[in-house]
Chain A
């Protein structure tokens, strides 16, 4: 048999053994019903949140802690649904900043100390917490689920703490103005990251093989593809890398470089990309990257450890951008589990989430900060 016949036989054999559950049709209509409930609850919650937030400002209260918390204490089921498009990614010269359909975000005007991080809790509430004690300092609102039954999306807090970009279900990116509680749609993407100048980098949702850089004012985006130079599905992207690959993680380093972990169903590597020239410099392999002022933190995810359990190895790479060449790892440690969110706080410590727990590592043993956390941004 030639390869085509062998392929045909193998596919038919595997497909034949696919199992289906008897209540699948009920499951379909269950999803439809959940979607309808969520739409109704979202509409009600949105109106209530805007009204209460407006009343708080009118009364001269300073939202941020106690004034805000009751507004956002809605149950997780009140979160809006996901995949009914409510805005388009079409660039616009003058996007309007309005409360999002998600609507649960409220103004927060407090000065946050350095040891503050923004986290998404297991119930999808977005709160600022102390990375020292885990205590809540402000509640921003509630994220919609990333899918009908899925986890929350991702988020990033700007270094000046003025904006939050977040993924609101089904890859819809929004930019929240923290001071006035309004949110502007930015288009589609995953794992958004804000540069110091306000531009947003995100992983493209359609193929997962490109990085988008979005101007928050015009909402125009530029795509940078991680693809083969001889790939046939040429969509006119600028060339940045030699091989087509999935983008696993992206982070800004200054306003001119992106640090990208990418690869194709195998070992990932890290590229440092100069956006002006399109040139990319290779660094150590990693599955996830985060960038601080002078340090790149990266991790290897999910490798089987000696006892068979998943482990995650961290390493930090000082001055990698200056050296622009593969850099030896420094300061490694292994976490016994699958880490799925990583950031560096203002003090350079590594914050990460594993098994719904937020940990902080600045050398030595990592310290448990808080339970019930889904994602973190320093």
Chain B
């Protein structure tokens, strides 16, 4: 994912510029955390709206993208918490269905991995998504999640181990 770009000082212009640069990428990140396209957009739009309101208080404009990414992770967590009961038995989202031209075997493989990922504890899941999709360093993940680098290492290691066990038992 792209890093921070220079942004104008006006909140509207700044948010628009950040939106054009990062919206799609953040939605892709959110969809991996909430597994719901509509919900992911909702979380990301909310993050941009919050950033707009707090633009004047942002001490470091270069950190705006980092703020957005953290807001998306936190927003995704809140959304899951709100919906956790109703989602437990919800129908699969349309976005998870195989595309007509898609390879069924590949889709099943990916679905199995995502199912195994979804069964992990929240923190492990977030660390794995930020590391293996967003490509963040341990330091960045630690900063985004508000945990130590050691904790990131530990969550990643445990998450991968659990994922391996689940996938091997299929």
What residues make up the interface of A, taking CB atoms closer than 8 Å to B? 2-4, 6-21, 24-25, 27-29, 31-32, 35, 83-84, 147-148, 205, 208, 232-233, 244, 246, 248, 264-266, 287, 301-304, 310, 338
Contact = CB atoms under 8 A, between A and B. Distances in A.
What 5 pairs between A and B have smallest CB-CB spacing? A10-B113, A15-B28, A31-B49, A10-B110, A11-B133
B129 to A, nearest CB: 6
Contact of B81 (A31, A246, A266): A246
Q: Interface residue tally of chain B, by bracket? A: 35 or more
Contact of A15 (B16, B29, B84): B29
Interface stretch (B2-10, B39-47, B59-67): B39-47
Query: Which of A25, A28, A287 is packed against the most chain B CB atoms within 10 Å?
Result: A28
A228 B123 CA distance: 12
B72 interface: no
B151 A233 contact: yes
Nearest to B151: A232
B52 A28 contact: yes
B132 A8 contact: yes
B40 A18 contact: yes
Nearest to A39: B53
B52 A3 contact: no
B112 to A, nearest CB: 8
A304 B89 CA distance: 7
Given A29-B49, A233-B147, 9 more contacts: A10-B111, A11-B129, A12-B133, A15-B31, A18-B95, A24-B44, A32-B53, A232-B154, A303-B89
Interface of B: 12, 15-16, 19-20, 23-24, 27-29, 31-32, 35, 37, 40-41, 44-46, 48-50, 52-53, 77-78, 81, 84-86, 88-89, 95-96, 99, 106, 109-111, 113-114, 117-119, 121, 123, 128-129, 132-133, 147, 150-151, 154-155, 160, 163-164, 167
12 contacts: A6-B109, A8-B133, A10-B113, A10-B114, A14-B32, A14-B96, A18-B40, A31-B49, A35-B49, A83-B50, A232-B147, A248-B85
Contact of B163 (A3, A14, A25, A32): A3
Contacts of A208: 77, 81
B52 A302 contact: no
B145 to A, nearest CB: 9
B132 A265 contact: no
Contact of A19 (B86, B95, B133, B160): B95
Main secondary structure of the interface of A (DSSP, over half): mixed
Contact of B46 (A4, A11, A31, A266): A31
B49 A28 contact: yes
Given A15-B32, A18-B28, A18-B31, A148 B49 contact: yes
Contacts of B129: 11
Contact of A32 (B52, B119, B132, B154): B52
Contacts of B48: 28
A6 B41 contact: no
A148 B128 contact: no
B160 A3 contact: yes
B100 to A, nearest CB: 12
Contacts of B154: 232
Contacts of A15: 28-29, 31-32, 133
A7 B117 contact: yes
B77 to A, nearest CB: 7
A13 B114 CA distance: 10
A24 B114 CA distance: 27
Contacts of A3: 160, 163-164, 167
B89 A28 contact: no
Nearest to B28: A15
A7 B45 contact: no
B110 A9 contact: yes
A2 B168 CA distance: 10
Nearest to B47: A28
Contacts of B44: 24
Query: Which of B85, B113, B147, B155 is packed against the most chain A CB atoms within 10 Å?
Result: B85
Contact of A7 (B12, B53, B132): B132
Nearest to A151: B82
A266 B88 CA distance: 8
